[in-house]
Amino acid sequence: MSKVEERKSEFEAKLKTYVGLPDGPVTVGRDPVNETMIRHWCEAMGDTNPVYVDAAAALAHGFEGLVAPPTMLQAWILPGYEMHDRSTMQSENKQLELHSLFDAEGYTGVVATNTEQEYTRYLRPGEEVHAETHIESISEQKTTGLGVGYFIVTRTLFTNQEGDDLGWMTFRVLKFRPSQPAAAADAEAAPAKPSRIKSPRGFDNAWWWEGIDEGRLLIQACNDCGALRHPPRPVCGACHSSEWGSIEASGRGTVHSYTVLYHPPIPGYDLPLPVALVDLEEGTRVVANLKGVPPDEIEIGMPVQCRVEDADETMKLPFFHPAAD
Amino acid sequence: MTNLLSGKAAIVGIGATEFSKNSGRSELRLAVEAIRMALDDAGLTAKDVDGMSVFTMETNPEIEVFRQIGGSELKFFSRIHYGGGAACATLQQAAMAIATGVAEVVVCYRAMNERSGHRFGTGIQNLQAAATTESSHYGWYAPYGLLTPASWVAMFAQRYLFETGATTEAFGHVAVADRRHAANNPAAWFYEQPITLEDHAASRWIVEPLRLLDCCQESDGAVAVVVTSAERARDLRQKPAILTGVAQGACDDQQMMTSFYRDDLTGIPEMGLVARQLYEQARITPKDIQTAVIYDHFTPFVLCQLEEFGFCERGEAKDFVQGGNIEIGGGLPINPHGGQLGEAYIHGLNGVAEGVRQIRGTSCNPVADVENVLVTAGTGVPTSGLLLGQA
């Protein structure tokens, strides 16, 4: 077993000891069920059912008086704003202790994933709500869109001051390790980023593109008459010799013409994109993108300098930059 | 040099489907519809057809179209490469076949769902990975995003502006003329939708210095023309349009769309080569031409063509196009049908049909006393042109 695996199984063994434990003493709602809180809830939720706010209507529907909306069940025992300050909460809360254990192991992310609730009966004003929460289960390690982590399920049983069953709730959270969180999430969510179109490579041109791969801007040279030529071709245009070599260009040149691409959009290219036709000082002409100059400041005749740079993650290309004065 | 071609053949039938952005039917059906109309126009039947010449970019093989129209014996079929540069070259094929007795009746057609189907304006985004001479050629441009016809033309246009001192307003005059003519052509997509120079200047950049209104449409539709001998043409239904000149051209370090390595980027030498041949074949000069259908996929190359054909001096097209000179009523009305900016983009073959209408006097925008009409094909590519004259 590798050290990583060893550490993981140790950690998971520790996690298991928490399964089944109560997360703390029984919680008692700070206020008994009361008409004021019911009315506020109904107003906030836009719930206009009269049995929650109108005693006469409740009687007419067969209730003994006002009742609380069943979905308020958990609201009666929420700790309020103090929840955001752990130091003020019960020190022996096992769920918090468990979360700290995860944090220490790098699983610092937390996200609530889902909850289920079941209501046994309507609550009436004056009843006290008691809640007892257990850690029900901790999953195996899972790989999710957010990162690697564990799902923790707690189950809460609700009763009144007499011990009458009022309902139950399960609550599931994911504690995860947000290692390279954005990248990991993006990789799963987004398709691979398109790259630029690559030139086909054949007998006549592959050597030039391989030069670019190595960071060099080459110019084909006739072995017989010495004439330079671009784009590469198998036969010299001046003397028709098919014996050739190459020289490395200085990269210095001037803009002979240019265009700025605005439309159509091309996957893998950021528009607007300037493209220049450059007269190299050696005498040949080459097409490449211009960088480092706003489109409205490009001028025919401007001196430029070539640098071979990464065009994207898959290829290098020559780029012309305004020449330093 | 003796020319055995001039005056030997005539266009005797033209046909076209409606021009739209979504034809709702196959390119094959469009081809058949246009050819049937062209044959009806000529007073011929499919049984008379024994030759076909098309663009290599045509997706409907000539044998399939021939089968569909009910043809019987096909003795001549040929294809011309280089996009819209083939437009007039297909007529040259027809004329040569007829002049040599290889065929008697030749149909040229172009049918495409170029808007609802494969759009040329999206460029070569699917460049094949295998290295061929052509794919490797585009490999010098595509990695930099230079992969649409507009972007290739823009590189020439920018240099043209720089050297001639013209502004993009000169391009605007071409667009305004096309749209003015289209506004009076019920078959044009932009019928009754003229534009102003202000509209042109306000339209958005596509590839600087080309704006939206400098670029031709993308269209669905088909055009067909029927060619036969000048002699047989005399007995047919329509007034013949005689092919007094028809030529191809490629020269001076020619490349497909990217002849960027010539010393001078402000001209179109291959079109100059076509012009010289046409004038020589027809024995006329620029002043003998009353109207011209100038290939207008992008406005800048219209200016260059006016110069290459000698309608004005080099660098002076910017002045030539001023004051409505290229509009109906002007010195040289161009694209009376509205051109490919105004009528439709059918790879230039709709321009050939307009040339025929001008000879017949049946155009929506007829030019007075037409003796000779010039029609040109795609520019920036190996190209072609033709002259039509009265019988």
Residue B160 falls in the annotated catalytic set = no
Contacts of A287 in chain B (CB under 8 A): 140-141, 144, 146, 155, 258, 260
pLDDT > 70? residue A133: yes
Angle at B229 between CA B227 and CA B233, to 5 degrees: 80
pLDDT in tens, A211-239: 999 999 999 999 999 999 999 999 999 99
Which B residues, 99 through 128, put their C-beta within 8 Å of a C-beta on chain A?
Answer: 121-125, 127-128
Every domain of chain B and the residues it spans: 9-117+216-389
Cα–Cα distances in Å, from A145 out to A172, A183, A194, B232?
Answer: 17, 10, 22, 77
Longest CA span, chain A: 110
- Classify B9-117+216-389 by CATH class: alpha beta
Give the count of Cβ contacts less than 8 A between chain A and B: 123
Chain B hits for A265, CB-CB cut-off 8 Å, are none
- In this structure, is the dihedral angle defined by the CA atoms of residues A111, A114, A120 and A121, taken in order, positive or negative? positive
Domain segments of chain A as ranges:
3-33+68-178, 206-322
pLDDT given at position A190: 59
List the Cα angle B90/B95/B101 in 5-degree steps: 130
Give the integer Cα–Cα distance in Å for A170 and A156.
6
The region of weakest confidence among A73-82, B77-86, B154-163, B223-232 is A73-82
Measured in angstroms, the CA of B211 and the nearest CA of chain A are apart by: 10
C-alpha distances out from residue B27 to B23, B107, B223, Å: 9, 16, 11
To the nearest whole Å, the CA of A186 is away from the closest chain B CA by 26
C-beta contacts of B325-331 below 8 A and 24+ residues apart: B326/B173, B326/B174, B326/B177, B327/B176, B327/B177, B327/B180, B327/B181, B328/B180, B328/B181, B328/B365, B328/B367
Cα→Cα distances B182→A51, B39, B164, B225, B328, Å: 73, 26, 29, 21, 11
Confidence of residue A192 (pLDDT cuts 50, 70, 90): confident
Positive/negative CA dihedral, A277, A280, A284, A288:
negative
CA distance A183 to A146: 10
Helix B269-282 to helix B300-308 angle (10° resolution) is 40
Which residue, among A79, A162, A154, has the nearest Cα to A117 in the 3D structure? A154
Listed range (A16-20, A87-91, B140-144) with the worst mean pLDDT:
A87-91
CA nearest to B145 within chain A: A269
Contacts of A268 (CB under 8 A, 6+ apart): A193, A194, A195, A196, A197, A312
Question: What confidence tier does A80 reach under pLDDT thresholds 50, 70, 90?
Answer: confident
Spell out which residues of chain A touch residue B205, defining contact as CB-CB under 8 Å: 260, 262-263, 272
Which whole number is the average pLDDT over B234-248? 98
Is residue A138 within 8 A of residue A19, CB to CB? The reply is: yes
| Separation in Å, CA of B338 to nearest CA in chain A | 24
What is the reported pLDDT for A108? 87
Cβ atoms within 10 Å of B266's Cβ, excluding its own: 20
pLDDT tens sequence across B311-348: 999 999 999 999 999 999 999 999 999 999 999 999 99
**Chosen from B210, B261, B264, B266 to mutate, greatest number of chain A CBs within 10 A:** B261
Nearest chain A residue to B207 by CA distance is A261
Question: Is B345 noted as a catalytic residue in this protein?
Answer: yes
A261 CB neighbours in chain B (<8 A) are 145-146, 151, 207
Tens digit of each residue's pLDDT (9 = 90 or more) over A97-108 = 888 889 888 888
Q: What is the pLDDT of residue A146?
A: 84
List chain A residues with CB under 8 Å of B147: 197, 266
Q: Beta-carbon neighbour count of residue A165 at 10 Å?
A: 11
Span of A34-38, B213-217, B386-390 with lowest mean pLDDT: A34-38
Span A281-312, pLDDT tens digits:
999 999 999 999 999 999 999 999 999 999 99
Task: Quote the pLDDT of residue A180.
Answer: 59
Check CB contact of B139 with chain A, cutoff 8 Å.
Answer: yes
Nearest CA distance, B139 vs chain A (angstrom): 4
Q: Assess contact for B114 and B345: CB atoms under 8 A.
A: yes
Q: Which of B128, B136, B148 sits opposite A205 (nearest CB)?
A: B136
Of A199, A262, A275, the CB nearest to B146: A275
The ipTM estimated for the assembled molecules is 0.96
B175, B296 in Cβ contact below 8 A? no
Structure tokens at B238: 């329509």
The pLDDT-based confidence of A184 (bands split at 50, 70, 90) is very low
Distance from CA of A198 to the nearest CA of B (A): 6
Q: How far is CA B307 from the centre of its chain?
A: 17
Q: Which two tokens stand for residue A264?
A: 């159509």
Q: What percent of chain B has pLDDT over 90?
A: 98
Query: Model confidence at A141, in pLDDT bands (50, 70, 90)?
Result: confident
Do B154 and A273 touch, CB atoms closer than 8 A? no
Give the class (CATH, top level) of A3-33+68-178.
alpha beta
pTM: 0.75
CA atoms of B98 and B6, how far apart (whole Å): 12
pLDDT of residue B19: 98
Burial class of residue A40, CB neighbours in 10 A (0-12, 13-18, 19+): exposed
B205–chain A Cβ distance below 8 A for any pair: yes
CA distances from A308 to A68, A247, B375 (A): 72, 16, 45
For the A206-322 domain, the top CATH level (class) is mainly beta
Cis peptide before B209 (omega within 30 of 0): yes
Of the partner residues B125, B162, B206, the one whose CB lies closest to the CB of residue A197: B125
pLDDT band (50, 70, 90) for residue A89: low
For range B262-278, the mean pLDDT: 98
Mean pLDDT of B18-43: 98
Chosen from A204, A255, A261, A280 to mutate, greatest number of chain B CBs within 10 A: A261
* Beta pairing class for B106-113 and B51-55: parallel
Specify the pLDDT at position B90: 98
Average pLDDT, chain A: 90
Please count the CA atoms within 13 angstroms of the CA of B12 that sit on its side-chain side. 28
The DSSP secondary-structure symbol of B334 reads B
Q: Please list, in sequence order, all residues whose beta carbon lies within 8 angstroms of the beta carbon of residue B35, skipping any fewer than 6 positions away.
A: B15, B46, B65, B69, B107, B109, B224
Residues of A in contact with B144 (CB under 8 A): 273, 275, 287-289, 317
The per-residue pLDDT for range B143-191, each reduced to its tens digit, is 999 999 999 999 999 999 999 999 999 999 999 999 999 999 999 999 9
Cβ-defined contact of B143 to A262 (cutoff 8 Å): no
Positive/negative CA dihedral, A182, A184, A185, A189: positive
Nearest by CB to residue B136, choosing from A204, A261, A275, is A204
How confident is the model over A170-180, as a mean pLDDT?
86
Across A21-30, A202-211, B83-92, B115-124, least confident range: A21-30
Neighboring chain B residues of A290 at a CB cutoff of 8 Å? none
Q: How far is B160 from chain A (nearest CA, A)?
A: 9
Please say if the pLDDT value at position B196 is more than 70: yes
Q: What CA dihedral angle connects B20, B21, B23 and B26, to 10 degrees?
A: 130
Q: Which residues of chain B make contact with A260, given a CB cutoff of 8 A?
A: 205, 207-208
Q: Looking at residue A36, what is its pLDDT?
A: 93
The least confident of A186-200, A262-276, B107-121 is A186-200
Contact B155 A257 (CB under 8 A): yes
Bigger pLDDT: B283 vs A7: B283
Nearest to B349 by CA among B316, B386, B317, B320: B386
B159: its two tokens: 């240099």
Instruction: Give the strand order in the sheet containing B76-80.
Output: B76-80, B51-55, B106-113, B220-229, B9-16, B241-249, B383-390, B372-376, B291-293
Res B386: pLDDT: 98
Substitution target in B132, B134, B156, B158 with the highest count of A β-carbons within 10 Å is B158
Give residue A88's pLDDT band: very low, low, confident or very high (50, 70, 90): low
